[in-house]
Amino acid sequence: MQIRFTTSPKETAAMNTQELRSNFLVENLMVDDEVKLVYSHYDRVIIGGAKPVNKVLELSAHSELKADYFLERREIGIINIGGAGIVGADDESFSLNKLDCVYLGKGIRKVSFKADDPSVPAVFYFLSVPAHATHSNHLMKKEEASPVTIGDTKTANHRTIYKYIHADGIKSCQLVMGLTVLGVGSVWNTMPAHTHTRRTEMYFYFEVAAEHRVIHLMGQPQETRHLIVANHEAVISPPWSIHAGCGTSNYSFIWAMAGENYNYTDMDAVTIRELK
């Protein structure tokens, strides 16, 4: 498990391209028959990827957590972006098709990932955060996630938002999680931009064609920076940073947050004319 420490806005403003990527971009997250983990000290979020192909993968505790098992003091949200697969949680099992989500609460001792068909492997992206109470395990199918279509092709941001783990959906301690699918011809996400200093947000980009990229905007509104992001890469977005992007083609992304505010609509708006 890789460890990423926090950096201040002043430090970030002085970083070169490689320093920005080393601190905020998570690469090589989906590797055949491996579980990959990055521990961020922003709200102690753990970003993870599991791609079971020929074997069942298990989520281990890791010495840095000082815990007997991974979810001893944590909760987790898992979204499948690949072929059909199964998430095991102690004596329960959950079947996930593409874009289905499962939440597992604090106290689950054994978490496993399995593909239904190795020729079309499941690809699991997950986010784990500290939890102070136990909430029930819950599977939500894509169709149950109250999809809402917003934006306009005139501004190239026509998109459908799926909300899974939030105050009016799957209950959790502090985790908020969902995804956005951009329509053909639309490339902008989260514009106009916003910040929320009460919580950290993580973006995971997928369905980005091999020949395309997403230009992810980050930093303070008046001191922006950018990352060039490929398929199956994640971005750590500090509480003081905007998080928006524009692709060279349409794409999808998973957004997930942790912090002291559980309200999905908690945003400090930044108008486009304020950006520098």
Q: Which domains are assigned to the chain? A: 2-274 (2.60.120.10)
Please report, for residues 20, 153, 192, 198, 270, the alpha-carbon distance to residue 267 in angstroms, rounded to integers and kept in the order given: 24, 24, 11, 9, 9
pLDDT in tens, 45-86: 999 999 999 999 999 999 999 999 999 999 999 999 999 999
In the numeric block, which tokens belong to residue 72? 């001893």
Residue 77, token pair as written in the block: 């949200």
Indicate left, alpha or beta for 61 from its phi (over 0: left) and psi (-120 to 50: alpha).
alpha
What average pLDDT does this structure show over 6-10?
95
Nearest residue to 130 (alpha-carbon basis) of 260, 30, 267, 233: 260
| pTM for the structure as a whole | 0.95
Mean pLDDT calculated for residue range 242-247: 96
In 10 A of CB 108, how many CB atoms? Answer: 21
Between 168 and 253, name the one with better pLDDT: 253
Q: Stretch 142-158: mean pLDDT, rounded?
A: 92
* CA distance from start to end of the chain: 35
pLDDT tens, position by position, 99-110: 999 999 999 999
Mean pLDDT of 237-245: 96
For residue 221, how far is the Cα from the chain centroid?
22
Q: Which secondary structure element, helix H or strand E, spans residue 38, and what is its range?
A: strand 35-40
- Does 213 have pLDDT greater than 80? yes
**Rounded Cα–Cα distance for residues 123 and 144 (Å):** 20
Q: How far apart are CA 137 and CA 132, in angstroms?
A: 15
Backbone phi, then psi, for 272, in 5-degree steps?
A: -60, -35
| pLDDT tens-digit series, residues 151-168 | 999 999 999 999 999 988
Residue 262 has pLDDT above 90, yes or no: no
